């Protein structure tokens, strides 16, 4: 199966301390790939390396065959890698709809020259609003378009962050604990929506998640991190049955 993202022998340090150590992984097109491990094992740091907010000390990160390890985050975003954070980075005093429209690339009305000339961009803006409504419907937020983002529940904010991340035409989405702080029923609904987007939008997902019972129901492959490295990877069943994983992660 073709890989959309590959990491080869990636290492990184923070303040002189090695926090990612010789990590290699391959993310196949169209899969949901889980990334698990104890707190402090390097999961979020690895997402930061892929997203460009950190640079590796050594090693290669390639997206669709192109080296991206030295690119800036905005360039990586334009190539097709989206990101949703553990704490949703929303504009809380803007509407749900406006939050969703923001990531659309190349909006004509954003330039100083075109902004005063409404006739140049009004139809594009209307089309963007329709696209944003479709994205919100994908995560069951289409009834909340006019609400302020601050009026959403914690779980709905997570869904808005995911919907917004699809508006930059990504091919790969990096999700950092999409169900953290969310009630169990909504947590499962979030993963059901992720799975639906995988099929309807053709997306690939790399997901950091601590709720293993839910993740393992949806993931195709799971990577286990420990002390900055990859302990093992495999199917959810293989990972759950591995003695080393139980010892370092579950504690028995």
> What digits encode the pLDDT tens for the residues 192-226?
989 998 998 899 999 999 899 999 999 999 999 99
CA distance 4 to 18: 26
On whether both 121 and 232 belong to a single domain, the answer is no
Residues 6+ apart with CB under 8 A from 164: 84, 90, 99, 100, 102, 103, 135
Domain with 38 in it: 1-80+170-252
On whether both 159 and 174 belong to a single domain, the answer is no
Q: Does the pLDDT at position 170 exceed 80?
A: yes
Let me know if residue 87 belongs to a domain.
no
On whether both 76 and 184 belong to a single domain, the answer is yes
Let me know if residue 86 belongs to a domain.
no
On whether both 152 and 174 belong to a single domain, the answer is no
Q: Does the pLDDT at position 94 exceed 70?
A: yes
The kind and range of the H/E element at 61 are strand 58-63
pTM for the full predicted model: 0.86
CA distance 149 to 98: 9
- Helical pair 184-200 and 122-138, crossing angle rounded to 10 deg: 120
Let me know if residue 113 belongs to a domain.
yes
CA distance 197 to 211: 20
For position 86, what pLDDT does the model report? 75
Confidence class for position 121, pLDDT limits 50, 70, 90: very low
Cβ 83 vs Cβ 5: under 8 Å: no
> What digits encode the pLDDT tens for the residues 7-45?
999 999 988 889 999 999 999 999 999 999 988 888 999
Ranked by mean pLDDT, the top range of 79-93, 94-108, 187-201 is 187-201
State the total domains in the chain: 2
Which of 167, 197, 224 terminates a domain? The answer is 167
Q: What is the CATH number of the domain that holds 203?
A: 3.40.50.300
């Amino acid at each position: 199966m073709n890989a959309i993202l590959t990491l080869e022998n990636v290492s990184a340090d923070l303040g002189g301390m090695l926090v990612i150590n010789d990590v290699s992984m391959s993310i196949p097109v169209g899969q949901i790939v889980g990334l698990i491990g104890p707190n402090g094992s390097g999961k979020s740091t690895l997402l930061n390396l892929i997203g460009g907010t950190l640079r590796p000390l050594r090693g290669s990160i390639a997206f669709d065959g192109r080296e991206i390890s030295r690119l800036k985050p905005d360039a990586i975003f334009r190539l097709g890698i989206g990101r949703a954070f553990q704490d949703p980075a929303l504009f809380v005093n803007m509407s749900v709809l406006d939050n969703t429209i923001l990531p659309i690339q190349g909006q004509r009305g954003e330039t100083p020259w075109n902004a005063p000339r409404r006739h140049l961009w009004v139809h594009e803006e209307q089309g963007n609003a329709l696209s944003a409504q479709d994205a919100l419907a994908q995560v069951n937020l289409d009834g909340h378009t006019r609400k302020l983002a601050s009026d959403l529940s914690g779980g709905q904010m997570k869904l808005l962050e995911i919907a917004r991340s699809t508006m930059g035409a990504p091919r790969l989405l990096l999700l950092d604990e999409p169900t953290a702080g969310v009630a169990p029923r909504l947590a499962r609904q979030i993963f059901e929506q992720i799975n639906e987007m995988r099929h309807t939008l053709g997306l690939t997902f790399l997901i950091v998640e601590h709720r293993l019972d839910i993740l393992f129901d949806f993931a195709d492959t799971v990577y286990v991190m420990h002390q900055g490295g990859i302990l093992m990877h495999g199917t959810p069943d293989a990972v759950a049955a591995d003695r080393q994983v139980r010892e370092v992660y579950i504690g028995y």
